[in-house]
Amino acid sequence: MYQANDNRYNSMIYRRCGKSGLVLPLLSLGLWHNFGDVDTLDNGKQMLHTAFDNGITHFDLANNYGPPPGSAESNFGKILKSSFLPYRDELIISTKAGYKMWPGPYGEWGSKKYLVSSLDQSLKRMGLDYVDVFYHHRPDPNTPLEETMSALDLIVRQGKALYVGISNYSATETQRAAEILKTLGTPCLIHQPRYSMLDRWVEDGLLDVLEQEGIGAIAFSPLAQGLLSDKYIKGIPKNSRASKATGFLQKEHVTPEIMDKVVRLNAIAESRNQSLAQLAIAWLLKDDRITSVLVGVSTKSQLLENLKTLNNLEFSDSELKAIASIL
């Protein structure tokens, strides 16, 4: 039987999520990859144990994580039952809905019908009575935002989620969503945007809106799907994400211009006695508006390397200037 490390809270740093009563660890564990039925359950269990033993209290899922879709939640549910039930009140578990999950007109996007049904399915897969955070995963261009936000409000009132958030919303969409939720009496807790050194769209207004509205931010893809690591410096390795025909990172993304930036950033990381991945995570966390960074790992050792980021979070002015000139 798993017994958590008694000193699990000693080395983690926690940051308040916007203007809420909730704090999150600076590093959270994302289950987007490596927890599906195509993966090894024992490896997933080791990563979750290692995360919690080191103060990572937040595990992030979505209905479509796998593959196949739904399997990450099912596998997490198995591990939760065998390892984490005694610690449920110490965990922040989140899931999302927005992408296609089943055939027909009610299996994706942002209708109340879809969101309520999807969360019911997610709760069954994980064996939970409620999630801590439920997100709308992407804006729906065809459903009134009022309907989508009222579904989030309903879910909280039903006791199926404690907090709600949004993901992949623009600054303008976020402002409108926050205003609607505030009127309904269920404030928006958190926004989950894609954000990295190589993908900085959130700096064009979104972070300002989040600060103004008192909404937390948790960044996903902080390593730009692995580009911000030393993995691609000497070319595209076999079995890497960029070597596969499907996926978010394609060969054409690994351009000479990008790799020139990666090599120069790696040199700065080395001068700080950090890996490039650690530098990339620390760079995001330098902004207090970023509540937490979601890391996705494939091994326990990779997670432990990411956790070493916490040993060196400060940047000198000269380092920040050098990074800015590269980016």
Summarize pLDDT for 284-305 with one digit per residue, the tens.
Answer: 999 999 999 999 999 999 999 9
Q: What pLDDT does 281 receive? A: 98
pLDDT at 244: 47
Residues in the chain: 327
- Phi first, then psi, for residue 262 (nearest 5°) are -60, -45
pLDDT in tens, 58-75: 999 999 999 999 999 999
pLDDT exceeds 90 at position 249: no
Q: Token pair for residue 214?
A: 């008192």
Report, as an integer, the average pLDDT of 214-223: 98
- Output the pLDDT for position 61: 99
Q: If pLDDT is split at 50, 70 and 90, which confidence band does 250 have?
A: very low
pLDDT above 70 (res 252): no
Average pLDDT over residues 158-167: 98
Q: Give the span between the Cα atoms of 239 and 315, in whole angstroms.
A: 34
With a cut of 80, say whether residue 50 has pLDDT above it: yes
pLDDT, averaged across the chain: 95
In this structure, the number of other CB atoms found within 10 A of the CB of residue 178 comes to 22
Residue 193, number of CB atoms within 10 A of its CB:
23
Distance, in Å, from the CA atom of 262 to the CA atom of 150, rounded to the nearest integer, reads 43
What φ, ψ does residue 293 adopt, rounded to 5°? -120, 130
- Contact between residue 315 and residue 274 where contact means Cβ atoms under 8 Å apart: no
Spatial neighbors of 19 by CB under 8 A, at least 6 apart, are: 214
**pLDDT at residue number 232:** 72
Map out the domains of the chain as residue ranges: 14-232+277-314
Helix (H), strand (E), coil (C) string for the chain:
CCCCCCCCCCCCCEEECCCCCCEEECEEEECCCCCCCCCCHHHHHHHHHHHHHCCCCEEECCCCCCCCCCHHHHHHHHHHHHHHHHHHHHCEEEEEECCCCCCCCCCCCCCHHHHHHHHHHHHHHHCCCCEEEEEECCCCCCCCHHHHHHHHHHHHHCCCEEEEEEECCCHHHHHHHHHHHHHHCCCEEEEECECECCECHHHCCHHHHHHHHCCEEEEECCCHHHCCCHHHCCCCCCCCHHHCCCCCCCHHHCCHHHHHHHHHHHHHHHHCCCCHHHHHHHHHHCCCCCCEEEECCCCHHHHHHHHHHHHCCCCCHHHHHHHHHHC
* Percent of the chain surpassing pLDDT 70: 94
Q: Identify the pLDDT of residue 253.
A: 67
Q: Which CATH superfamily is domain 14-232+277-314 in?
A: NADP-dependent oxidoreductase domain (3.20.20.100)
Taking residues 100-107, report their average pLDDT. Answer: 98
| Torsion angle in degrees (nearest 10) through CA of 110, 113, 115, 116 | 160
